[in-house]
Amino acid sequence: MKTFDYVIVGSGSAGSVLAARLSEDRATRVCLIEAGGPATGLAVKIPAAFPQLLKSERDWAFYSDPEPGMEGRRLYMPRAKMLGGCSSMNAMLYVRGNWVDYDGWVKHGAPGWSYADVLPYFRRSEDFERGEDTYHGAGGPLHVSDARSRNGLTETIVEAAQQSGLPFNLDYNGAQQEGVSYLQTTTHRGQRWSAVDAWLRPAQRRTNLTVLTHSHAQRIVVEGGRAVGVEIIRDGAREIITAEAEVILSAGAIGTPQLLMLSGIGDADHLRQHDIDVVVDNSNVGEHLQDHPFYLVNFETTAKGTLAEAEHPRQLLNFFTRGRGMLTSTIAEATAFLHSREGLPAPDLQLHMGPVYFHDHGFDTHDKPAYVVGVTLVAPESRGRVRLRSADPAASPSIVGNHLSEPADLEAMMVGVDKARQIAAQAPLAGLTTAELHPGRTLHGDALRRELRRDTELIYHPTSTARMGSADDSVVDPELRVHGVAGLRVVDASVFPSVTRGNTNAPTYMVAERAADLIRTAG
C-alpha cells in the first residue's frame, strides 16, 4: 500500500505524537516515514547512558559551519536517527518554557498559541507523577516523574543555590519559572519514556497506521501547487508514497528546512544555485535558527557517591532488579532559572546541575569526582540559518547559528558563570570543592569572554527554521500550513517563532498535540 490520507516525514517527538493521534480515527490511513530504525538497546532505556548514543550510528551528527562568534569553531549538533527521534536520545528533561514565550508567539503573528491556548495540550499529553492540578495533567500517555534515586550531592547543590540567593521552586512548570528546582523527567520506573513508549508503540497495533523505517525522504512531490506525496529511498529503491489529504513534515529544525529546499520551497536564488526548480520563492525557509548556548562549569569535589560510580556492578543490579540507583539519573538532576540583568520579562538563564564531571558532550573524562553547573542561555538574541550544501539529500546541510555574535548574549553567559561560582562558594559546597576545572578560578573579564567563545557548545535545542507567522516573514501560518503550497504542513520545533526558555522536548510534544486537533478540524 503506497497511498494514504496523511504521510508524515520523521518519527521524532512530533511525528510520533501526530501519527498516534491521527490514527485514532480508524478510517484514516496514516503513513509515518523514518530514516532510522527501531529505538532499542540499553543505551536508549538507561537514562544515565544517553551520552553513549551521541556520534553513534543512531545520530545524524551534524556539525555547523565555522561559527563567527565562537572563534570559527564547528559546533556539534546531534540529531537522533531512530524511532522517537531525539526523545529516544535526549536527557529526558521535561521543561515547558515560560508563559512569556507563548504570548510572544502571538505577538509575532501566531494567534491561537498563547500560554492560555497551549496549556490544555501540555496537560492532555501528561501523566504527572505528583498528580493533576491547574498546570499538570494525569492519565495522559507521557509519564513525567521526579528522580527515583536523587543523588545526595545534588541535594547539597540545591541547598547551596538557595544560599546564593535563588528561591526554591517546587514546580518550574507551574505558576512561575524562577528559582532552583529538582528536574522533572520523561522517565517511568527508572527508564526512559520516549515518544515511542508514550504514543507510537501503542498506536502501531492499529491496522490503519503504517510505519516505514530505514526510509530516507528525498523530496516532497508537488503537483499543481499541492503536495501529493513524498519520494523516498527504501531498500535501495526509489518510490513515491502518496498522500490524499496532507503531507506533514516532522523532520526537525535541521531536516525540515532541508527537505523543503530540496523540494523547491525556499529562497529562489539559493535554489537555483543548486539547480533546483523553484516551486515557492520564500527566503524565510531555513532562516531564524536559534539554539541554546551551553557552557559547563566543572568543579572537583571530595564528595562521595557521585555519578562517576554509576557503572559499578551494584548499580547495574539495582537498575535491573528495582529500577533504582545511579543509572536512573538523567545526569542533570537540578535546574535553576534566573535573570542576567534587570528589566527582562522572564529568565534568560537556565542552570543544569548534576553530581558528575561533564564536558565535551560527555566524551571528555576526569579522574577524580566532580560536579557540574551548566550555564545555558535560554533567550538568545543571536539567530542563524540552515542552507543546502548540495542538492543531494544525503549531504548534510550548511548550518550557521551565529551563537554569541550578539554582545548581550555573551554578557549574559558571563553572569551565568559568575552565578555558578557563587553557588560553589556557599558553605554546603565550599568545603567539598577542591578545584574549579572549567573555566578555572583565574579567568575573569576578557579572558573569560575568550574562554566562553572557545569552549561554549550547544545543548541540542534547534528551533525556528520554518517559523509561524505571516507570509512575509515566516514559513507556515498559525495552523502550520506552508505558505504557498496546499496540502503541506510542518509540525516540529522548526515552527517555533522563537526558542522557548528551557529544554524544547515538552514544547514539541505540545505543538504536535495541538496540530493533531488543527488537522482533524480541517479534515
- At 459-499, the pLDDT tens digits run 999 999 999 999 999 999 999 999 999 999 999 999 999 99
Domains, the chain, ordered by start: 148-182+293-377+405-455 (3.30.410.40)
pLDDT digits (tens, 9 = 90+) for 366-408: 999 999 999 999 999 999 999 999 999 999 999 999 999 999 9
Local confidence band at 523 (pLDDT 50, 70, 90 cut-offs): confident
Q: Please state the length of the chain.
A: 523
Radius of gyration of the chain (CA): 22
pLDDT digits (tens, 9 = 90+) for 76-100: 999 999 999 999 999 999 999 999 9
Q: What angle do the packed helices 152-163 and 407-425 form, to 10 degrees? A: 110
Task: Look at residue 272 and give its three-state secondary structure.
Answer: helix
Residue 285: partners with Cβ closer than 8 Å, 6 or more residues away? 257, 260, 261, 265, 266, 267, 465, 466, 475
Local confidence band at 249 (pLDDT 50, 70, 90 cut-offs): very high
> To the nearest whole number, what is the mean pLDDT of the chain?
97
Residue 198: partners with Cβ closer than 8 Å, 6 or more residues away? 16, 125, 141, 142, 143, 186
- The answer on pLDDT for 150 being more than 90 is yes
Q: Is 461 a catalytic residue?
A: yes
**Alpha carbons 327 and 324: distance in angstroms, whole number:** 7
Q: How many alpha carbons fall within 13 Å on the CB side of residue 78?
A: 25
**Alpha-carbon separation of residue 493 from 14, 86, 141, 252, 468 (angstroms):** 8, 12, 20, 6, 10
**Alpha carbons 17 and 40: distance in angstroms, whole number:** 19
Which of these is catalytic: 359, 403, 461, 483? 461
* Cell numbers representing residue 135 in the block: 498546570
- The answer on pLDDT for 309 being more than 70 is yes
Closest CA to 337 of 507, 113, 88, 168: 168
Please give the model's pTM, rounded to 2 decimal places.
0.98
- The answer on pLDDT for 520 being more than 90 is yes
Local confidence band at 31 (pLDDT 50, 70, 90 cut-offs): very high
**Alpha carbons 463 and 517: distance in angstroms, whole number:** 22
Local confidence band at 1 (pLDDT 50, 70, 90 cut-offs): low
